[in-house]
């Protein structure tokens, strides 16, 4: 990978703030956005109410930071996988199978359900839309990186469609409890005509 594809280094999150963000994601995953109150988050995180208000001046800021933190961590994890795949010289079939394994290995605990809630909330609260756009930009950039490494022409144009396909299949899997086995086939169908 060239240095232009390496995600920006972000400063470490203070431990207390990290606990609060984890609590926000768990609460959203369990009870939705409506469950997020400063008192509930403080209790869930095991911190004082003052710590919550010190680190986050508003609920909007807490939701935005939690959304961005989740995506940063997911992007870092998936970028590592993409780099490993590129180093191993994966072909399209192997890359699609790897994507299926990653999706199948994603446990939908409350922290992984939370982003879906946050994206829906961004549709209702325009203050979260910028954070949602940043999230999808990060996913699109990663998809472009992977598709380019696979030699897919027009990788940048295909990236958003790839991200939408994966997100839709993940949402379907979450809603129905079905396995992710169709993801690899869907990705192969998507890129088959582009190589």
Per-residue pLDDT tens digits for 54-107: 999 999 899 988 888 887 887 777 777 667 766 666 666 666 666 665 665 555
Name the burial class of residue 27, with classes exposed (0-12), middle (13-18) and buried (19+) by CB atoms within 10 angstroms of its CB: buried
CA distance 182 to 173: 10
pTM over 0.85: no
| Rounded average pLDDT over 14-19 | 92
What is the pLDDT confidence band of residue 165, given thresholds at 50, 70 and 90? Answer: confident
| Rounded average pLDDT over 22-32 | 91
What is the pLDDT confidence band of residue 5, given thresholds at 50, 70 and 90? Answer: very low
Whether residue 15 is predicted with pLDDT greater than 70 in this model: the reply is yes
Contact 155, 144 (CB under 8 A): yes
What is the pLDDT confidence band of residue 109, given thresholds at 50, 70 and 90? Answer: low
pLDDT 10s digits, 129-154: 888 888 888 888 888 887 887 778 88
What is the pLDDT confidence band of residue 7, given thresholds at 50, 70 and 90? Answer: very low
Whether residue 187 is predicted with pLDDT greater than 80 in this model: the reply is no
* pLDDT value of residue 169: 80
> Which residues are within 8 A (CB) of 66 and not within 5 positions of it... i.e. 6 or more apart?
21, 24, 25, 28, 114, 118
């Amino acid at each position: 990978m060239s240095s232009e594809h390496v995600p920006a280094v972000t400063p470490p999150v203070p431990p207390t703030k990290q606990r609060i963000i984890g609590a926000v994601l768990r609460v959203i995953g369990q009870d939705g956005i409506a469950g997020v109150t400063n008192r509930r988050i403080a209790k869930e995180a095991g911190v004082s109410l003052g710590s919550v208000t010190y680190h986050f001046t508003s609920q909007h800021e807490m939701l935005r930071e939690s959304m961005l933190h989740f995506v940063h961590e997911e992007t870092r994890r998936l970028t590592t996988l993409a780099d490993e795949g590129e180093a191993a010289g994966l072909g399209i079939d192997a890359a699609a199978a790897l994507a299926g394994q990653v999706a199948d290995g994603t446990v939908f605990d409350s922290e992984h359900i939370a982003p879906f809630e946050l994206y829906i909330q961004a549709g209702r609260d325009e203050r979260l839309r910028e954070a949602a756009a940043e999230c999808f930009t990060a996913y699109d950039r990663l998809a472009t990186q992977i598709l380019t490494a696979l030699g897919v022409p027009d990788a940048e144009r295909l990236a958003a469609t790839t991200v939408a396909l994966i997100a839709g299949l993940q949402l379907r899997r979450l809603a129905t409890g079905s396995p992710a086995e169709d993801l690899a086939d869907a990705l192969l169908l998507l890129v088959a005509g582009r190589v």
